[in-house]
Structure formats: structure tokens, C-alpha cells
Structure 1
Amino acid sequence: MKKLSVFTLWLSSLLLGLLVSNQSAYATRSPKDEPIRIVSLDGTVSEILCDLGLQSHLIGVDVTSTYPELLQKLPKVGHNRTISAEGVISLKPTLVLTSQNAGTKPEVIEQIKSAGIKVITFQQEYSVAGTKKLIQDVANTCQVPSRAKPLIKKLDADLAQVKKAMTSPKVLFIYARGTGTMMVSGRGTQVDKMIELAGGANATPNFENYKPLTAEALVTANPDVILLFDSGLESLGGADGLAKVQGVAQTNAGKNGRIITMDGHLLSGFSPRLGKALQELAQKITQKPKA
């Protein structure tokens, strides 16, 4: 009888221990099992997330997140340079992703972090290697590292199809938001790197970043091709509107009608579509001038 009591006591202790252990394991596991809710503050990061098959985890994006089209249906938290922490926090994300080039203010990032939300800022280099690294970094962060491999393989295949310009035409990129805001691209910008990778030469390599467009500088640069975002040319009233900008008609590009445009994010995003962007840019800058 005494032996039975000891056995019963031992068995009860074992069952109680297992119950406490299971409850503890459940308490530890449950938060991790909750769906990841991601807000992306960078258009290229948003595109990579979708290419990795993680679009169902996106609950909000910035206005530069324009591709793929499904991103248009998500709540917008503003332009990445003017985002408010409150708008992001209100979506109750568990993870906020951005890049150091996005331009979100450091104090906004700190406000989001202070709300207990994890924020990861990726380093993005404007190069082929930089694009591949960003794809892998996003995949690693979201714990799907193997999904990066087919994306990088597809990027390599696209890059292999690029036929660079052989004559190094001088290309001038104009960032335009109406005639009141017109800037030209110098060294180190995304578009400068794209022009180089496509086989062209930046027509204004003597300064860094962007400078206001002037008629004198335009004539001096005398580009063979003038490049704009689709939206930029539209803001000027199309090709006819650009032709009225002082100095354009005096350039080789103006005389020969060598005005080309591309989608803004495709041209400057250094996204998984980099190969396709270079294919398009190289083809456009090598088109023969009008007779």
C-alpha cells in the first residue's frame, strides 16, 4: 500500500511537470506563430518581397512602391522622405523594412522602434552585385534564404541579354516635376550608374548628385540623348513642352528628336528587374536619330 502511494505521488508529479512544460512551450511559441505583418518604406524592397512570395505579409507601403500592380491596393504611408511614424504604427506591423537610400528621417525610424516595432534598414549599392546582395539580404531577413537563388539566376539571365551601346552616346537625365522643378543628374546617382551600365556616357559628369537645369549648362553638355522619367516628360506637357525649354533645341538631342523616357522605378530602382531595365535603356539610347 505504501509502495502504491509513492508511485501515485511520482506519477502526479510527472503529469504536473509535463503540463507546466507544455504551457510554457505554448506561451513561448504562440507569438512566433503570429503572421508577420510588414510595412515597406522602399519601392525596391517591396518589389523583392513580392518576388519572394511574401506579398501576403505586406500590410502597407510607401508611394514609391509601384510594382507589381498588387501593391497599388495596399494602404500608403506616404512618400518615404515625408513619412510620419504615426501612420506606420497605426497599421500595427511587426516588422518595418527600408533601405539607407530611401531617405526616411532617422527620428521617424526611432519613433517606430520606440513603439516596440522591429525596423531593419538595408544597405543598397547601385550595382549588379549590390542588387543581388539586397535580394539575398531581404530573403535572409524574412527567413526564406533559398528563395533568393532563382531570383538571382533570373537576373543573371536578363543581364546576359543586354546589348550595350557601342558608341557611348552622351545621355543627359533630367528630373522634372513641371518646368518649375528641373534638375540634371551628375555622378553617383542611380541614373548615372544605369547610363554607364547600358554603355552610354553621362553628359554632365563634372558634379555629384543633382543640380538645377540651366540653358547654358544644357548647351554646354550638348547631349546626344535626353532621358526623363515617363512622369517627368508628362509634367512638362510631353515632347512639345520639353522642346520649349530654353537650350533644348540647341542640343544634338533636341535637333534629332532624341528624347526618351522610362518608368521611374524601373530606371532607378536597381530591383530584380535590373536586367530588363538595362535592356530597355541600352536599346533606347542606341536608336538611330530621326532622318
Structure 2
Amino acid sequence: MNSIKTIKDQLNRIIHLKETPKRIVSLVPSQTELLCDLGLEDFLVGVTKFCVHPRHIRKDVTIVGGTKQLHLDKIKALQPDIILCNKEENTKAIVEACESICNVHVSDIFIIDDSLELIRQYGAVFNKLEEASTVINNIESEIKDFNTFIKNKPQLKVVYFIWKTPWMVAGNNTFINYLLKLNKFENIFDNESRYPEIKLSKSTINKDVNIVLLSSEPYPFKEKHKRDIQEFYPNAKVILADGEMFSWYGSRLTKAFKYFKSLRLNL
């Protein structure tokens, strides 16, 4: 008789597993990448159209929609053992709909410790404890090295744009804002919650901002947008930033801190 393994996800929801899940649907791009880096690519049966790493994954695995608009019939037809969601990426309605199909694990990430906890949870759920430990050790090593590097660097005032028309920025209570702080970037919208819309006009010109970061996702900012933004932050250096490094919280963190170091060295 199989023993039932009981685990909690990051919303403290109880999940009962009769056996290690073998058919996985991932509805979060950064979590898809993490699963593959844990050696679970062959167990993935469904991903979103935004799951772009590893690059071949969307050719090899069924696409079940986006992170907010899903084809539940496709997911059901895949007969998954578990569906992996995220509180920010996927709506409560999506989680509830997926629960009618099979077990659902929901992540909730605000700081690095949350990311490491998620990796540990996946290690436990999918019987990949050793692989999870390796990823965690790599991330912790990168953070330690980066903290030494950034220690004596000056604090810089920044704006981090995620969208255009309307203009939207990263505010407080986001993983992006947490990583900005680690980089000694003072987010001038730290007093705003989540992802506020802002107005850019002659009355909002800010000469105190040192750096403007235009994220590569979810809006794909390009070189031409740097000119659009420069007049509102005349003394700032406007940079196209790799959004995956600032918002992907799985195994991408093994690469993020080298990127942050390079970013700072090129300011």
C-alpha cells in the first residue's frame, strides 16, 4: 500500500500526494525553467506560451495557453498529476479551476528566501532533493559574492519600467523591488504598491533620478523607447534591462547576480 506524502505550498495549502507526480503542468515560465534544471523536463506535459526557457520546451511540450488565459480542456486532456501555479502570475479563479483537475501547488515569492523555499519544496515534491540542494547552494554562493561586490558601491535613485501605454513601473511589495534594493538601487516609487500606473509630463520631470531601467518584459522595451523616456529623466542613464534577471525567481537566480555585477560595472 502506497504511503501518502503530505506537503504544504507557499500559501500553506495542504497537498496530499499518493506518489511522486510524473505528469506536470507548469503555468509559470520561471518555474518551468527551474523544473528543467532540476532534471524534470521529461515529466513536463504542459506549459504556457511564455515558457521560453529552455528554448525548445514549447516545441516539445503541449502549450496550454498563457499565464492568465488557459485552455482548461487541454490541461484536463493531459491528465496531469500536479499543476504548478504562482499567486501573482495566475488568478485565484485559475487555481480553483485547476483544482478540479488534480493537485495544485501555488508559489508566493517576494524575497530570495521565498525562492529558496520554493526550490526546496519542489525537491521534496518531485524527489529531487539533491538537485534542489545544488541549485540552492549555487544561488547562495552567487549572492555572497555579489554582496561583497556591492558593499561599497553608492546608492543610486532608479525607476524600473515594466509597461508602456499606460506607463507602469515596479513599486513596493514586488520581487523586482526586492532585487533593486539588493543592487543598492533606491526605487523612487517604493512608496507605491505593486505596479502603479504613472503619468509622464512636464510637471513630472525628475532631475534627481540616476538610472532608468526599461525591462525586456512583460513589455518588450527597445532602443527607441530610451529616447521617449529621456526627456522626463534628463540626468538619468536610460538602460534596457533584462527583465528575466529582475523577475524570474527560480534557477535563473544562479545567473542573475553576475548580470547585476556587469550592469553596475557598466554604469
**What band does the TM-score fall into relative to the shorter chain?**
0.7 to 0.9
8 Å CA contact 1:171, 1:226 repeated in 2: yes
Alpha carbons of structure 1 residues 90 and 286: separation in structure 2 relative to 1, 3 Å? same
Q: How do 1:161-172 residues align onto structure 2 when only pairs under 5 Å count?
A: 161-162=145-146, 163-164=149-150, 166-172=153-159
Amino acid paired to 1:209: R
Which residue of the partner structure matches residue 166 of structure 2?
181
Which residue of the partner structure matches residue 8 of structure 1?
none
CA distance in 2, matches of 1:262, 1:155: 20
Using the size of structure 2 for normalisation, the TM-score is 0.81
**Larger Cα-atom Rg:** 1
Amino acid paired to 1:154: N
Amino acid paired to 1:38: I
8 Å CA contact 1:66, 1:265 repeated in 2: no
Which residue of the partner structure matches residue 78 of structure 1?
65
Q: How do 1:201-212 residues align onto structure 2 when only pairs under 5 Å count?
A: 201-212=186-197
Using the size of structure 1 for normalisation, the TM-score is 0.75
1:51 to 4, 27, 37: 37
Of Structure 1 and Structure 2, which has the larger fraction of its residues in helix?
1
User: Deviations 1:231-251 (Å, cap 9, x if unpaired)?
Assistant: 56755xx33333134843x43
User: Deviations 1:4-25 (Å, cap 9, x if unpaired)?
Assistant: xxxxxxxxxxxxxxxxxxxxx7
2:235 to 248, 252, 255: 252
Number of residues of Structure 1 aligned to a counterpart in Structure 2: 247
Of Structure 1 and Structure 2, which has the larger fraction of its residues in strand?
2
Q: How do 1:130-209 residues align onto structure 2 when only pairs under 5 Å count?
A: 130-162=114-146, 163-164=149-150, 166-176=153-163, 179-209=164-194
8 Å CA contact 1:40, 1:62 repeated in 2: yes
CA distance in 2, matches of 1:202, 1:286: 19
2:247 to 268, 271, 275: 268
Alpha carbons of structure 1 residues 239 and 143: separation in structure 2 relative to 1, 3 Å? same
CA distance in 1, matches of 2:137, 2:158: 30
CA distance in 1, matches of 2:36, 2:43: 9
CA distance in 1, matches of 2:219, 2:238: 9
Alpha carbons of structure 1 residues 281 and 46: separation in structure 2 relative to 1, 3 Å? same
Provide structure 2 residue ranges, at least 5 long, that are not aligned to the other structure.
Answer: 3-17
8 Å CA contact 1:260, 1:284 repeated in 2: no
Residue 196 of structure 1 deviates from its aligned partner by 0.5
User: Deviations 1:256-284 (Å, cap 9, x if unpaired)?
Assistant: xx222233223201222325313313432
CA distance in 1, matches of 2:94, 2:170: 28
SS of equivalent residue, structure 1 residue 223: coil
Which residue of the partner structure matches residue 263 of structure 2?
284
Residue 171 of structure 1 deviates from its aligned partner by 1.4
**Following TM superposition, where does structure 1 have runs of at least 4 consecutive aligned residues deviating by more than 6 angstroms?**
32-35
CA distance in 1, matches of 2:264, 2:205: 19
Which residue of the partner structure matches residue 9 of structure 2?
none
User: Deviations 1:62-119 (Å, cap 9, x if unpaired)?
Assistant: 233222223232222222122242232122212211222322x33333333323x222
Provide structure 1 residue ranges, at least 5 long, that are not aligned to the other structure.
Answer: 1-24, 27-31
SS of equivalent residue, structure 2 residue 31: helix
Which residue of the partner structure matches residue 7 of structure 2?
none
Alpha carbons of structure 1 residues 153 and 86: separation in structure 2 relative to 1, 3 Å? same
CA distance in 1, matches of 2:204, 2:218: 17
CA distance in 1, matches of 2:207, 2:50: 30
Which residue of the partner structure matches residue 29 of structure 1?
none
Residue 44 of structure 1 deviates from its aligned partner by 2.3
Alpha carbons of structure 1 residues 76 and 196: separation in structure 2 relative to 1, 3 Å? same
Q: Kindly, what percent of the aligned residue pairs are identical? A: 22
Q: Aligned-pair RMSD on alpha carbons?
A: 2.7
CA distance in 2, matches of 1:232, 1:42: 13
1:243 to 227, 236, 239: 227
8 Å CA contact 2:135, 2:254 repeated in 1: no
Q: Which moved more, 1:188-197 or 1:152-161?
A: 152-161
Residue 33 of structure 1 deviates from its aligned partner by 8.6
Q: How do 1:9-28 residues align onto structure 2 when only pairs under 5 Å count?
A: none
